[in-house]
């Protein structure tokens, strides 16, 4: 029975390689994570697959997301690359396949690659489909092509220093769930005075404060960690309820600080 929605938190695997990736995924699943996020570009799908198969958790209980890189967006390339991803992940389907980035400079028409993604879903290669790093205008175009009900998520960068409000609110208005990557701003949340203060008052970590803030906005966070203690703490952060005053303090940290901003990125909102 396929999942009908995204689990409330996932484990991100960006920058995790080799045995580190294997063990982190296995550890996360043992702690209770049921959503593992990877991508072709991370070059760790095989290790993520190893971690999943060695965890002892039945495949049907695990939600796997992978993302198709922008050099595989022509229709035949996309389908073939997804078959390759499944082989590396040691599964016959993923739960969610995303377009990792919109085609740089629209070199491949959105109709072509989103049509191919829809075909992959029809072929049973993925239960759900979605997008990543799409702007408001690109989301609107994707909805025109696919219909909002087919797009499970737009995965975008979200953390206290990049609230990404315009994109988040537009996605939610369209009925598209937002997945927030880099919710810990690659560790920068651990050094912020406001987050440290709130964390100390609650006897928790600044990372937990940041994750709770992301989740409070109806966004699915996918923090990355390799240490079991941090993995568990990140999972436990979903149980936290921040006060209105705390949320306002964190909202004030938004400074538009974008970490994932390659040269081929779209013109951000």
Classify residue 41 by burial, with Cβ atoms within 10 Å: 0-12, 13-18, 19+.
middle
Question: b/e per residue, 217-246, with b = 16+ CB within 10 A?
Answer: bebbbbbbbbeeebbbbbbbbeebebeeeb
Is the CB of residue 194 less than 8 Å from the CB of residue 206? Answer: no
Catalytic residue ranges: 42
Find the farthest-apart pair of alpha carbons in the chain and give their distance in angstroms, rounded. Answer: 54
Report the 10 Å Cβ neighbour count for 83: 12
Known binding residue 100? Answer is: yes
Q: Which residues make up each annotated binding site for substrate?
A: 100
Q: Which residues make up each annotated binding site?
A: 100
């Amino acid at each position: 029975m396929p999942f009908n929605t995204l689990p409330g938190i996932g484990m991100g695997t960006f920058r995790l390689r080799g045995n580190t990736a294997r063990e982190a995924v296995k550890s996360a699943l043992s702690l209770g994570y049921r959503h593992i996020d990877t991508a072709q570009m991370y070059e760790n799908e095989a290790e993520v697959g190893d971690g999943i198969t060695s965890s002892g958790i039945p495949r049907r209980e695990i939600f796997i997301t992978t993302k198709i890189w922008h050099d595989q967006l022509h229709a035949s390339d996309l389908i073939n690359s997804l078959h390759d991803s499944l082989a590396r992940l040691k599964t016959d389907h993923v739960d969610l396949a995303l377009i990792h980035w919109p085609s740089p400079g629209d070199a491949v028409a959105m109709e072509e690659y989103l049509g191919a993604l829809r075909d992959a879903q029809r072929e049973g290669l993925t239960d759900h489909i979605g997008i990543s790093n799409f702007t408001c205008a690109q989301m609107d175009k994707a909805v025109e092509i696919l219909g909002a009900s087919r797009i499970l998520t737009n995965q975008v960068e979200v953390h206290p220093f990049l609230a990404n409000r315009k994109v988040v609110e537009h996605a939610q208005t369209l009925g598209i769930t937002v997945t927030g990557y880099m919710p810990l701003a690659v560790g920068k949340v651990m050094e912020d005075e406001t987050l440290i203060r709130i964390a100390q008052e609650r006897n928790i970590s600044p990372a937990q404060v940041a994750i709770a803030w992301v989740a409070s906005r109806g966004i699915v966070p996918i923090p990355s960690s390799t240490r079991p203690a941090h993995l568990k703490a990140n999972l436990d952060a979903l149980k936290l309820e921040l006060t209105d005053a705390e949320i306002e303090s964190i909202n004030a940290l938004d400074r538009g600080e974008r970490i994932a901003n390659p040269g081929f990125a779209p013109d951000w909102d």
